[in-house]
Structure 1
């Protein structure tokens, strides 16, 4: 047997009866269908900043990038103590520990809503929460579709299409603070609609829906017997005199899966702690969906155990002053940017009511040198080293989104650069 092997190790041994073939491994449909729509657009732009000006990135929805916003001291200390204790280094229940789930249930029980800890599933960030909810509700083998906001965060489309579920868009109306176009929403729903995604407060719009508007949305959902997936990752991250109302607090007969997490309000997106809460007044989820979500949570074998251990302290002891100061800082940044951009010919800013973003309309007809908003954004980067995300990243043309989490002086500088840029090209 050994004598039959080639002495030259570079020679290949081919078993008798087999022909040598090129070894090609093909990707699954799920892998091929998984598309990051923001990267798909941004990667095709020529983004070379002006070397004579420092780059100001108003594109990234990570509030930690510039170091000017920090999580509360109590949050950091809680995690340090849990690490030192060493009691949470192992696996826990895939849905989360009872103590952590009780803390989340208590934290989100307000405005008349009362959650039981058994209504909570902990996940690896809010994106994981959304993934599990879409997967549990929408079945491509049944021809299901989901309806999502336009403009809206593209993760919904990425998650649905990766498993073969059709995505339909319903319009938001910029002139009316980005409320849902109810007639258009209703027109997207059919017998195969598995879920309506509601993002409130909104990324990228910064809008915050009133209780009456949420009721109108729920009336449509009830009419067609379609459950809601509520993305509330920005819950209570709203500005002065604006009240956040969870869709769960609106009296209805519509089953809702509420998704959220620590990422935004606590300024720790990298900690990957999200949650799903069942708000189901009629028991529509009891037979299959709750069990299905528990089974799906087993795919990741639970969320971050260290952060779970710290959750009761984080959610109980973070002072209200931290929340108020963060909201106030974001409001001041938004107002400053809005005041400057409002004076720029060719741009129309929409003052947000919350979150970390502002949408700006580009009156592209006033800039004949540019055919599209993408052209406008690319040249802004080349000449002024200011990078914003074009509206195409959120499914809408002729707009751009800026983040308002950057240091105030940097944000003002970026807006002034936009002003100079527009003065050169406005006609």
Structure 2
């Protein structure tokens, strides 16, 4: 039998959902943009597209964290399998760390260790995936939620963040979108991709709205405490007595170690609503059939969380504050780009493109592709995070490199400006 005929009898094929889901991730979009760059070009590539500052010397993690990893590995105490929910000392350390900002004390039993924040998101979206269920996601937002929901066939409905109000949640839209099949809403604070930080008062309104609708709040706080504006970081768990809150977070951003892949999922639920409705048992069930973070990193966690000094955190926040100032000020000098509000947290800012001022740019994807090709600067098209003809700019890089990148973006914009 000929090979072609035999091949037609194979019964397997790839899962088409995976292709669709992966195409809408930040990684997927950035890979397309990066394809326009010649690696051997005359100028170094400046990455303003992703939130991983670990490659830059000024953002190196604290020495105590590095020593904690070495100590844990050398101790020979963390070479075996861990409990699916995490080892007890690590769960206790996270409970203590997060409880500092809460009006009640978390129990270690409310902490579940995950492979970075992304697995925590996978856990809760899978747990909530019931027939006909839908979830409310922010626009703009972090597209991993859309990708994971698509894979789980969980319906997504988008509510807008309002740029004219500092990217606050449009709570009227939340109420209009919700129905009897809505199970949860997601908030990201400090904000990715907007660089906003929600006030206590606004978060309280979010909690009251969710309670009215009978849904839980998924609070993505991976950028916790990375704030440098007028609003301090307030965890959504503060309002756990009003509405059940699932918090997802990690050490990735605050400690500048995204590659260590250590995150957590937390049930902020003093009233026991999540346990009563089977959510806790389902979280444990998911973790029983999935992988868990490397045990030696779990073993290092008590030392990392307990011994990192405030001087390290202050240094990182000060660098981000300086970078945010540079970014905001230089963007004002670029005619075709408008920044609605100065970033106050995280590592990002959203800026709007005015295509009417540009001669041969079709949309945000075209802008980013040509910018990468001509200037070796990588910026994320806004369509990747839900806002077409906007851009997400990451400013968590060396300040001098950020200055250079913005000079290049200005030159590019002037070169493509419509002739008067």
Shorter-normalised TM-score: what interval? over 0.9
1:52 aligns with 2:39: no
**Structure 1: unaligned runs, 5 residues or longer:** 1-10, 13-18
Q: Secondary structure at the match of 1:108?
A: helix
1:147 aligns with 2:148: no
**Structure 2: unaligned runs, 5 residues or longer:** none
- 1:96·1:302 contact (CA, 8 Å) conserved in 2? yes
Corresponding position of 2:94: 104
Structure 1 residue 163: deviation in Å?
A: 1.1
For residues 100-149 of structure 1, the C-alpha deviation after alignment (integer angstroms, 9 at most, x for no partner) is 1000000000232321111111111100001101111221xx21111111
Structure 1 residue 343: deviation in Å?
A: 1.9
Q: Secondary structure at the match of 2:186?
A: strand
* Aligned equivalents of 2:162, 2:266: Cα separation in 1: 29
Of 290, 293, 303, the match for 2:293: 303
- Evaluate the alpha carbon distance shift between residue 33 and residue 293 of structure 1 in structure 2; reply closer, same or farther with a 3 A threshold: farther
- Evaluate the alpha carbon distance shift between residue 32 and residue 370 of structure 1 in structure 2; reply closer, same or farther with a 3 A threshold: closer
* Aligned equivalents of 2:273, 2:299: Cα separation in 1: 32
Corresponding position of 1:115: 106
Corresponding position of 1:328: 318
Structure 1 residue 357: deviation in Å?
A: 1.0
- 2:146·2:156 contact (CA, 8 Å) conserved in 1? yes
1:409 aligns with 2:400: yes
1:169 aligns with 2:155: no
* Aligned equivalents of 1:353, 1:201: Cα separation in 2: 8
Matches within 5 A, 1:143-222: 143-222=132-211
* Aligned equivalents of 2:300, 2:31: Cα separation in 1: 38
Structure 1 residue 289: deviation in Å?
A: 0.8
* Aligned equivalents of 1:273, 1:335: Cα separation in 2: 30
- 1:89·1:306 contact (CA, 8 Å) conserved in 2? yes
Of 376, 398, 422, the match for 2:389: 398
Q: Secondary structure at the match of 1:64?
A: helix
Structure 1 residue 252: deviation in Å?
A: 4.2
- 2:129·2:152 contact (CA, 8 Å) conserved in 1? no
- Evaluate the alpha carbon distance shift between residue 239 and residue 169 of structure 1 in structure 2; reply closer, same or farther with a 3 A threshold: same
More moved, 52-61 vs 324-333: 52-61
Of 336, 340, 353, the match for 1:362: 353
- Evaluate the alpha carbon distance shift between residue 151 and residue 273 of structure 1 in structure 2; reply closer, same or farther with a 3 A threshold: same
* Aligned equivalents of 1:361, 1:110: Cα separation in 2: 38
Of 294, 319, 326, the match for 2:309: 319
More moved, 51-60 vs 28-37: 28-37
* Aligned equivalents of 1:278, 1:51: Cα separation in 2: 49
Corresponding position of 1:73: 63
- 1:101·1:122 contact (CA, 8 Å) conserved in 2? yes
TM-score of the pair, normalised by structure 1: 0.91
Structure 1 residue 388: deviation in Å?
A: 0.3
* Aligned equivalents of 1:20, 1:311: Cα separation in 2: 51
Corresponding position of 1:27: 14
TM-score of the pair, normalised by structure 2: 0.92
* Aligned equivalents of 2:272, 2:142: Cα separation in 1: 29
Structure 1 residue 32: deviation in Å?
A: 5.2
- 2:241·2:271 contact (CA, 8 Å) conserved in 1? no
* Aligned equivalents of 2:201, 2:327: Cα separation in 1: 29
* Aligned equivalents of 1:402, 1:20: Cα separation in 2: 47
- Evaluate the alpha carbon distance shift between residue 308 and residue 423 of structure 1 in structure 2; reply closer, same or farther with a 3 A threshold: same
Corresponding position of 1:7: none
Superposition RMSD on alpha carbons, in Å? Answer: 2.0
Q: Secondary structure at the match of 1:135?
A: helix
1:420 aligns with 2:407: no
Of 338, 341, 345, the match for 1:348: 338
* Aligned equivalents of 1:422, 1:351: Cα separation in 2: 21
Q: Secondary structure at the match of 1:35?
A: helix
For residues 156-181 of structure 1, the C-alpha deviation after alignment (integer angstroms, 9 at most, x for no partner) is 01111101111111101112211111
Matches within 5 A, 1:238-277: 238-250=227-239, 252-277=241-266
- Paired positions, count: 409
1:372 aligns with 2:363: yes
* Aligned equivalents of 1:144, 1:199: Cα separation in 2: 21
Corresponding position of 1:228: 217
Q: Secondary structure at the match of 2:274?
A: coil
Corresponding position of 2:129: 138
- 2:230·2:344 contact (CA, 8 Å) conserved in 1? no
Q: Secondary structure at the match of 2:397?
A: coil
Corresponding position of 2:85: 95
